[in-house]
């Protein structure tokens, strides 16, 4: 089932924040963010979940790698959360990874 939150987030990013947005399709490599965007020259990655409140270890690792590379990456579960992050310039945070997680 398609994630109904993704198109809503894309619309908000494009209309409210003048973002250049790319939606990643299911054919892409495991662990890639659902949405990547360029906003005011900065790289953003968004993992969008509407059923799960917890990112997988692979998603945590990808978010951490984006942050380490100088971008911003977030695990989003509502349009309200997305707007709050963007409106208040909330800094991303890195996740602790399980010791058992190996790429």
- Tell me the H-state helices in 18-94: 57-68, 79-87
State yes or no: pLDDT of 2 exceeds 90.
no
Summarize pLDDT for 48-84 with one digit per residue, the tens: 988 777 888 888 999 999 999 999 999 999 999 999 9
Q: Indicate whether 27 pLDDT > 60.
A: no
In this prediction, residues 23-36 reach a mean pLDDT of 76
Distance CA 33, CA 43 (A): 12
Mean pLDDT taken over the chain: 89
- CA atoms of 4 and 1, how far apart (whole Å): 9
Residue 32 reports pLDDT greater than 60: yes
39-49 pLDDT tens trace: 999 999 999 98
How is the chain split into domains, by residue range?
A: 47-70+96-103
* Per-residue confidence (pLDDT) for residue 41, from 0 to 100: 96
């Amino acid at each position: 089932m398609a994630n109904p939150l993704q198109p809503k987030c894309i619309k908000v990013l494009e209309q409210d924040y003048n973002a250049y947005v790319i939606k990643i399709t299911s054919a892409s490599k495991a662990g890639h963010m659902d949405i990547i965007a360029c906003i005011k020259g900065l790289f953003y990655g968004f993992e969008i979940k509407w059923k799960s409140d917890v990112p997988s270890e692979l998603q945590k690792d990808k978010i951490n790698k984006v942050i380490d590379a100088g971008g911003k990456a977030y695990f989003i579960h509502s349009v309200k959360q997305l707007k709050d992050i963007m409106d208040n310039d909330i800094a991303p945070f890195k996740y602790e990874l399980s010791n058992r997680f190996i790429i």
